[in-house]
Structure 1
Amino acid sequence: MSSFVATLTLNPTIDLASEAETVHPVRKIRTHGERQDPGGGGVNVARVVRELGGETLAIILAGGVTGRFLEELLEEGGVPHRAIPIAGRTRISHTVLERKTGLEYRFVAEGPAISAPEWEAALAAMAELREGWLVASGSLPPGVPADFYARLAAQASRQGLHCVLDTSGEGLELALRQGGLELIKPSLGEFETLMGRPLREAAAQEAAAMEVVRGGGARMVAVTLGGDGALLATADGTLRLPALDVVVRGAVGAGDSFLAAMTLALARGDMPTDAFAWGVAAGAAAVSNAGTAHPTRAEVGALRARITSVPQMAGILP
């Protein structure tokens, strides 16, 4: 079975990360430990897939000098990529970890406006893929229609691609209405927005995830729950795994790392429950490293070994 995982990122970013002793308004804040990473959902997924030994291609929209810098960072990381040129400049985001409190401050730019010919070129690039898995991840930048991911899901189905989606809001809702997705991976907050109601109790979360699966929008739903671990729902039922105990050094890209490891395991033929465990391990490895999505293969393997047994899935909820 092919372990090729292509990714699409319409709104990539250059992620700047640093640390400061304290963060105050107005005053000049001195930072330390600065680093730059190529970022954006699909970019992060591609980087982690490559680190874990899979084949990948990161398809991105990129423009301006910042777009060229993004490509340079990808080249330095050895990540195969294809850049679709846009008129606007690729965005820059900034994360600051406050050492005194351990709090993380994220400043996420909106991104450039994308013209119709530019986002249509992204769909055309997807049409060239002939096998494997496709992960579309990240926000829709200004100018891209809300049904873009729904169009992409329909196109992927016609091409025989396994389509995975990690986004939120109307883009996710419309893609689920289209149906045919292999996997979606919302955070709990994103999932509550999708379902239109609070999902504080475990039973409510599981019932909602099964509702999506039964509706045919996605074959699998993985909900990341932060410190409470993660939830998986398939046609066979639901499974919860607790978060692994690690020292947290940064959370940027943890969900993308989870998705990368789970998708790669599925592409390699693993059962959904085992793939889910790989996702939990990769998410934990990511938060134990500074910067954006920097789990190492060795760390992920060691953390996966700590999940000594994957419980059976709970029976299908009524």
Structure 2
Amino acid sequence: MRDANIFAFRKAMPRMSWSPRNLYNLWRRSCGAGAAAIDFTRTPKTLFQQRWISKALVRAYHGDFINEKIFKRWYLPDTLPDVRPRQHALSTNGDLDAFAGRTEQLERAKKRAYEKKTKGLAPVGSLMLAEVERRIDVFIFRCCLAHSVYEARRLVIHGSVLLNGKKHTDANTRLAPGDMISVDPAAIRFLQEPTSSKEESKDEQLSDSASELESLDSSRPGPSAKVASTNPSLTPFHLPPYASPFIFIPAYAEVSFPTCSAIYVRHPTARPGYSEIPTPFDADGEVIRLAWEWYSKVRPRTRSKSQMAREPENRSIGGQ
């Protein structure tokens, strides 16, 4: 990790981590004093300063572990993708549409038109970060198999991750639809017993109180004794502090927690009022737009053969 103080309160840069310090920084940028610094509605800052601040915040969360030159060269699209569905001609003859089998397609087209009218355009600005979401370390973090993207990188580099059944140690790999990753359960932190003295004392207190409740329940008639009994065959699960963010899993990931594996189903996309790329900022807000404006002006346009040879692994077809 290049920066040892990435969770500094002074900068309050959001990161891909569920550390309590980072969650506090996320709150400051969302609701606290830091939220006013990224409200550019009425600000004395120049357009260059607004773009620079937005670029720094977006890069802090989406890929601060990626070198800036590599990020600009390989992880940014040439243009923002067009996620608008293909338009279907709406007919007024319902019998003809039913005969041609177009009823379902026309209903979908009407639904999309209604969503576009009520929710607006799709937030395609966030899709500038779709290539970052394809990285194997980011995908492991999104699947809640690691506490942070930095821990996910260590799991990959240390050989605790399988890609389609084979050990994979390149954390820069971009997954293809259909790729399956598996993480060694012994390396997943929230499946291990806590080792600190404070956590051990808490566990002892909880076990003592549980034993007292079990003895009280066993002395009473009724089904309460069955509720207090525990099943030793179940996998122990130790939630980290402030574990509520772990309930979120993106739509492009299919996770199996019993097997500690996940499948990258498809590339993330967006639709009116919704973006599949998790971000602490508004998916179609000023911060994302200004960051794209910054990179659209400074990203490199030419790629030589020597540069093409240094491209991070980009898997196009799952399983190959």
Q: TM-score higher than 0.5 here?
A: no
Give the shorter-chain TM-score range: under 0.3
Q: With CA pairs under 8 Å and 6+ residues apart, which has the higher RCO, 1 or 2?
A: 2
Task: Give the number of the structure whose residues are more often helix, by fraction.
Answer: 2
Task: Give the number of the structure whose residues are more often strand, by fraction.
Answer: 1
Quick check: which has more Rg, 1 or 2? 2
- Could you state the TM-score of these two structures normalised by the residue count of structure 1? 0.23
